[in-house]
Structure 1
Amino acid sequence: MRLNVQRWSDQLNEKVKLAKFLYRNFRIYDFGSYALNRLTPKQGYTVQKNVPYGLKARHRLDLYRSGSPRLQRPLIVFVHGGAWMHGDKKDYSFIGEAFAKEGFDVAVINYHLAPEHIFPSYIDDLRLALNFLSQSQQKLQIAAENIVLMGHSAGAFNVMSALYNPHPYQLQSKDKIRAIIGLAGPYHFDYKGDPLCAEAFDQELPYQQVMPYYFLEQNTIKHYLFTAANDTIVGHSNSADLDTKLRELGNYSQLISVPRVGHITMIGSVSSLFSRFFVTKTEIMRALDDALK
């Protein structure tokens, strides 16, 4: 009995240490993103902030319109990470700038956060945003004929779950989605008792009834699954296993490893301030060109 208690205590201590480590890293990222956004160039695009896509306070998006749009005027819908409990669109203006300067319009969305809102509420928000963008093209001066869903970490889970989930959504723009780009996404893991994100899911619901990995279906969407070589938060198997299953279904999928970045630094390396030192943005641009050719 004493041995079991000690083992339980050791496991609890490890989880507490992990939670503190992750919390510290997200705080560091907050500071870093503030600096990135302050220094991000403001030329070559326009931005319309706090566009309401629904009735609730978190139903807001920032829309970055390219000053030199590509011929097909593709639209990237970006969903931030933060373990479903943290994050805000205002921290990602560097993402809007990075791709607007490449000819893409970019919608960076907010969504409801845990613990007040649990799965599938944040997926419901993404569905609402996608339908709004599709319905409001003329008013927003965008096109929704070539959509790319892009998400980092929890956001990658969200964009994947918009298509693959236990209760399929009625997406008006589903046949316009050309690609999904998942950056360090968790696609099949057991969240029960997880020190970082347990409160984002119903603990009584088995993860096999939630994770997008278990609800894949055949389609023509191109999938680009990015992993960070130095990721210590989300296991590479999440993307590798998803890639394998997508290919088994006959879907288009690429598994792409980005060297010299960790889970959080991966997204920061997309910034125009740092993209020349890392291959993250170059690989994403390669994926975008491949998806839209």
Structure 2
Amino acid sequence: MTLRPFAAAFTAVAALSACAPVQVLNGLVPTDTYRFQGGIAYGNAPHQRLDVYQPLAIVSPVRGARPLVVFFFGGTWSSGDRASYRFVGEALAARGAAVVVPDYGLSPAFTYPAFVRDSALAVKWALDNADRLGADPKQVYVMGHSSGGYNAAMVALDARWLGEVGASPQQLAGWIGLAGPYDFLPIGDPQAQRAFRWPDTPRDSQPLAHVSAASPPALLMAASTDTLVDPDRNTRRMADALRAAGVPVEVRTFDNLSHVTLIAAFGKPLRWLGGPVLPPVMDFLGLGAVPSHR
């Protein structure tokens, strides 16, 4: 690595560690490795918009149609936006997956279960439009980081939300949780308290309560020393519950990553940080043998 890219990457890590917006990575990732459609409505509300990242024609899966991933960003259900996660859309699209990144209602204007309902509606849009995006409707996955991992888990595990929009978790090929909170009552974080109207938070708001033999296969990833979302209470316990129900689950933990850099390492400038985060995801999507466009 030359000095200039290393310095830029180091600066990005420092900024992310200081809780600067994750869009610091977007100026450092390629712009010519995917096709982009932005600001597509998936519902009638102003915030119900999504961006689509499609692979270039030269990137194609080994067999059949490509998978489609719906990615939900994190931010304690109170911050973040779809535009900040171009580095995630690019990383997956450059390797053969179609990617949908939706916005969803944020606290304090929106509280549970509004953001879960938005997430389900965005997934319904993806299921309905997969074929038009060159993806296989039977290979739709949900994926999220931190509070976005919660959204993904709830859509995948609690059939109420997709059921409300005329779909079902049975239509999902799997779900990917990155440092997601899956069992966090009682709530101590003030932002999360507002998002879930603590202490009036229903027990069935917790993803762990909805694991069953019908749950989709899962890939769970976490930083082993995560100080924001306890990987033992959340990732390990979710994996144990899925296994006990007979659901296929793979777990990857990373000793050299943190809660923030687990997702930041999807960006090209930071993939050297401390663990191959992309290969397990691409293997789970069935694209492990597909070369990147770059």
Aligned partners of 1:222 and 1:291 also within 8 Å: no
Q: How many residues align?
A: 267
List aligned pairs for 1:231-246, cutoff 5 A: 231-236=226-231, 237-246=233-242
Tell whether 2:100 aligns with 1:107: yes
What secondary structure does 2:184 align onto?
coil
- Quick one: which amino acid aligns to residue 253 of structure 2? S
Match of 1:261? 257
Match of 2:6? none
Tell whether 2:25 aligns with 1:36: yes
Gaps of 5+ in 2: 1-14, 290-294
> Greater relative contact order: 1 or 2 (C-alpha under 8 angstroms, separation 6 or more)?
2
1:286 is aligned, of 283, 286, 289, to: 283
1:148 is aligned, of 141, 151, 154, to: 141
Q: Counterparts of 1:138 and 1:283 in 2: how far apart (Å)?
A: 25
Aligned partners of 1:188 and 1:207 also within 8 Å: no
Aligned partners of 1:184 and 1:239 also within 8 Å: yes
List aligned pairs for 1:1-293, cutoff 5 A: 28-30=19-21, 33-67=22-56, 68-70=59-61, 71-137=64-130, 139-165=132-158, 167-170=160-163, 172=167, 174-206=169-201, 208-219=203-214, 221-236=216-231, 237-277=233-273, 278-289=275-286
Q: Counterparts of 2:229 and 2:81 in 1: how far apart (Å)?
A: 20
| TM-score normalised according to structure 1 size | 0.84
Aligned partners of 2:117 and 2:161 also within 8 Å: no
Q: Counterparts of 1:200 and 1:26 in 2: how far apart (Å)?
A: 24
Q: Counterparts of 1:274 and 1:27 in 2: how far apart (Å)?
A: 16
Aligned partners of 2:28 and 2:268 also within 8 Å: no
Aligned partners of 2:169 and 2:215 also within 8 Å: no
Q: Say which one has the larger Rg.
A: 1
The range that moved more, 184-193 or 204-213, is 204-213
| TM-score normalised according to structure 2 size | 0.83
RMSD of equivalent CA atoms: 2.4
The range that moved more, 55-64 or 198-207, is 198-207
Aligned partners of 2:25 and 2:87 also within 8 Å: yes
Q: Counterparts of 1:140 and 1:167 in 2: how far apart (Å)?
A: 26
Aligned partners of 1:229 and 1:258 also within 8 Å: yes
Match of 2:292? none
What secondary structure does 1:197 align onto?
helix
Q: 1:151 to 1:113 in 2, by over 3 A?
A: same
Gaps of 5+ in 1: 1-23
What secondary structure does 1:144 align onto?
strand
What secondary structure does 1:49 align onto?
strand
